[in-house]
Amino acid sequence: MSSSDAAASTSSKPFCLVKSSINIDETFLVPHIVRPGETLSSTGLVSRPGGKGANVSAAIALAGASVSFSGAVGKDAPWPLKELESRHVITTDAEILDNVPTGRAFIQIAQDGENSIVLLKGANFATDSKSSDPEKSWSDKITHLVLQNEIPLQTTVAFLQHAKKVGRHVTTIFNPSPMLTQEEVERFPWKSVDVLVVNEGESMDLLRVLQPEHAKKLESLPEGQDRSRQVLETLSSLEQLQETAWVVLTRGGQGVMANVVLAESQEGKRSFFNVPPFRPKQVKDTTGAGDTFAGNLVAALMGHNVDADEALLSSARPKGEKFVEEALRWAAKAASLACEKEGAMQSIPSADEVKARSS
């Protein structure tokens, strides 16, 4: 085999890089949310790994796909990386920094269910590390790139634009959560995004900036399936998203909708999909369900747990509707199972667990 053939063979094997966040969620159980000037004893403390990037990396790996997490923790608490490794996530692209603490979410949960959260960005927002520069950290084996918005936007944009300059197709997946500011939305290179995953609230936030008149009309509609479809159709029609093959609208317990450009569609015409919800046996905690959905959708795009679509090796546009339907159903089912357990990363099911649950 020649070196060029070997390179082509390697690049054809789906491999995902998640460039995003990793945190420690410090959850304090308290009688009530602490008041200004008050000292309060908690009745319990639970420390769990978190961060949207870490969660979606775990979901991709547990779904059976090859994934590497790129991000940073501090020397004060590097153990969340071990949690990723135990779920088969590659962490050689992650860094342990000397003078910056691991990112944290300090969460108070009161007996009445009220909560309060203080975030420490920590190592997630280090911009002078090797892993924040795609020129230094990129690998030719990357076929899929997942990005969110819990690290500096300049880093996210740098990786997104680099993925479109490497000379071969890399499928880029973006979940703008937490939502960008108005100025960031206006300046973001949306045309470099192949797969956009948003919930209805995030969709409306985008439309309020990019199509404010339409957003006002949509806000006046009653919530429900008709409004959701109109939100999706309006979002999909934006000039900024004409190069985006998948626009996916997650609807929580109401299922998922998507507008997808198929490989043989004329003039970029989109096909509409509406997948009903898969009902969990019981809902204990919805934290992490969105990341579970996104990770399992990415794994499906990489050919796992559904009939692989060969068209996706060279484009983000799938060959047929059957693949899209199967991919969305699988991801929705996995997200539903995640709601049956407490925690974020701890609740993400493996592929075997999803397969074992009857549809």
Pairing of strands 95-97, 103-110: unpaired
Tell me if 305 is assigned to a ligand binding site: no
**Residue 288 annotated as part of some ligand binding site:** no
> Cis bond leading into 178, ω under 30°?
yes
> Do the Cβ atoms of 59 and 296 come closer than 8 Å?
yes
**116 labelled binding-site residue:** no
pLDDT of residue 12: 64
Q: Which residues contact 226 (CB under 8 A, 6 or more apart)?
A: none
Class of domain 3-19+53-99+125-356: alpha beta
Please tell me whether 149 is known to bind a ligand. no
Residues marked active site are found at 291
Q: Binding site annotation covers 37?
A: no
Query: Could you state, in order of their start, the residue ranges of all structural domains in the chain?
Result: 3-19+53-99+125-356
Please give the pLDDT value at position 286. 83
User: What is the predicted pLDDT for the residue at 356?
Assistant: 94
Neighbouring C-alpha atoms within 13 Å toward the C-beta of 185: 20
Check residue 222 and give its pLDDT. 95
Say how far residue 266 (Cα) sits from the centre of its chain.
29
93 marked ligand binding residue: no
Q: How far is CA 241 from the centre of its chain?
A: 18
Q: What is the pLDDT of residue 330?
A: 98
Q: Cα–Cα distance between 187 and 181 in angstroms, integer?
A: 10
CA distance 93 to 131: 7
What is the chain's pLDDT, residue by residue, as a tens digit (359 residues)?
A: 333 333 334 446 999 999 999 999 998 999 999 999 999 999 999 999 999 999 999 999 999 999 999 999 999 999 999 999 999 999 999 999 999 999 998 989 888 878 888 889 999 998 888 889 999 889 999 999 999 999 999 999 999 999 999 989 999 999 999 999 999 999 999 999 999 999 999 999 999 999 999 999 999 999 999 999 999 999 999 999 999 999 999 998 899 999 999 998 888 899 999 999 998 888 888 888 999 999 999 999 999 999 999 899 899 999 999 999 999 999 999 999 999 988 889 999 999 999 998 75
Rounded Cα gap, residues 308 and 319, in angstroms: 10
Is 60 one of the annotated binding-site residues? Answer: no
Ramachandran angles phi, psi of 231, nearest 5°: -60, -45
Q: Are strands 171-174 and 144-147 parallel, antiparallel or unpaired?
A: parallel
pLDDT of residue 185: 98
Q: Is 25 annotated as a binding residue?
A: yes
Calculate the dihedral angle through the C-alpha atoms of 220, 226, 229, 234, rounding to the nearest 10 degrees.
-30
